[in-house]
Structure 1
Amino acid sequence: MPEFSDEAEVTRVAKRETRAELLARRRALTGETRAEAAGRVQAELVALVRRLRPRRVTAYVPVGSEPGGADLPRVLREALPADAELLLPVLRADLDLDWAAYTGPDGLVAAGRGIREPVGPRLGVTAVTGADLVVVPALAVDRHGRRLGRGGGSYDRALARVPVATLTVVPLHDGELVEALPVEPHDRPVRAVVTPADGMRTLDGGPGVAHGVAPHTSAGRTRGE
């Protein structure tokens, strides 16, 4: 057990150091760079939604330097079929994620740390299991689909409930798709990422391809932009 415990501590330290480096890099991005990245990420996700025509999507409200922009939920909802639904997370006291329907910018309230949450009825932690597309935040993802979050474990719990065949996508800034990340047993992989420069990319030939997502796409813009 001591060797295992030492190895686990090394991984936790590596995660903290990597997390701090990534957050510092995001804070250093200019407003112009963030806005341009948000527009491109949104265009990719909108094109994906229009191709898949999902009945239920889960996403979140990006805050600060997170890619996608604060209006990402509105943009996604407008791209969905009229009878589809977009769910956003509601952080519970135990750090698990409940879910509620997004009804528009006026239906969001501040929930601390810059986070905004929907005010509608809570649908329960299992609501994510019925999603056809799950948009997930992360600081980085490696080429095996392993993601590095902010350390609370909320999305690891949520992703553990998501069926294997469901398309899970992480919006990233350029340079945040990396070769490898430190990983712990509870970490849950994702299937695809979207970055401003390279568009949609599935990871290790995951189920995203079966959902009609090409391994490398650049929907909604030309490669030269």
Structure 2
Amino acid sequence: MTDDMSDKAALRSQLLAARARLTSHDVEAAGERLARGARELAELAEASTVAAYVSVGREPGTRALLDTLRVGGTRVLLPVLLPDNDLDWAAYEGAEHLAKAGRGLLEPTGPRLGPEAVCAADAVLLPGLAVDGRGMRLGRGGGSYDRVLARLARAGADPALVVLLYANEVVARVPEEPHDHPVHAVVTPEGVRRFERPQEPSTA
């Protein structure tokens, strides 16, 4: 295991332990504030299609945001975990159309649209455990969203990448590996922070 992988594992353990100490009330209150903050983020408010996910357990809540986006006319795509840890996608049609799946996840019951469907999204909401001042995200380590980001890059897609976190999860530094990709914004219950996108190299 490389030093960065070991550092990631230690940081994950620390942050997951902090989440485990949250009460249901803490999670619900934070979710409401996150939904309000995310609604004010132009990258989400102005998107025609948003690829998101259903929060579970002590994750920063997405449920209120999903409903707000859908009611406002935004097409919301939700992931369906495949056996190889890749992600298929289906449209969100309301909480009554979610079903329990493996690993404690909730997934949409509608028609599967294929792994490439995410490439049509104007914004992608990524799960995570932390982000640093450069926008580098720490995921859970399963690799599903690394595949999503690689798929977007291959397709030449450039959606806004947004992560929802608790305030203590914006950290000084996230250990990074070569395949890691920065996000463009983080929403916490305390507000929104954007990160500068890398400048495209000049062709002149």
Q: When the two structures are superposed, what TM-score results if normalisation uses the length of structure 2?
A: 0.88
Letter in 2 for 1:68: G
Contact 1:172 1:194 (C-alpha < 8 Å) held by counterparts: yes
| Counterparts of residues 40-189 of structure 1 (less than 5 Å) | 40-48=33-41, 52-79=45-72, 81=73, 84-162=74-152, 163=156, 165-189=158-182
Whether the 8 Å CA contact 2:44–2:50 is kept in 1: the answer is: no
Q: In structure 2, what is the Cα distance between the partners aligned to 1:51 and 1:63?
A: 21
1:200 and 2:192 correspond: yes
Q: Which moved more, 1:39-48 or 1:168-177?
A: 39-48
Structure 2: distance between partners of 1:46 and 1:53: 9
Q: CA deviation at 1:173?
A: 0.3
- Residue 63 of structure 1 contacts residue 70 of structure 1 at CA under 8 Å; is this kept in 2? no
* Mapped partners of 2:181, 2:3: distance in 1: 19
How far apart in 1 are the matches of 2:33 and 2:172? 23
- Say what the alpha-carbon RMSD is for the aligned residues: 1.9
Cα 1:173/1:157, change in 2 over 3 Å: same
Is the Cα contact below 8 Å between 2:43 and 2:160 reproduced in 1?
no
1:77–1:49 Cα change, 3 Å = farther
TM-score by length of 1: 0.80
- CA distance, structure 2, for counterparts of residue 64 and residue 95 of structure 1: 20
- Does the residue aligned with 1:100 lie in a helix, a strand or coil? strand
The count of aligned residue pairs is: 195
What amino acid is the match of 2:169? E
CA contact (8 A) 1:142 1:179 kept: yes
Change (3 A) 1:160 1:51: closer
User: Partners of 1:164 and 1:206 in 2: how far apart?
Assistant: 14
Report deviation, 1:70.
3.8
More deviation in 40-49 or 54-63?
40-49
Seq. identity, %:
48
Please give the alpha-carbon distance, in whole angstroms, between the structure 2 residues aligned to 1:71 and 1:47. 14
Once residues 94 and 51 of structure 1 are traced to their aligned partners in structure 2, the CA distance between those partners, rounded to angstroms, is 29
In structure 2, the gaps of 5 or more residues are 199-204
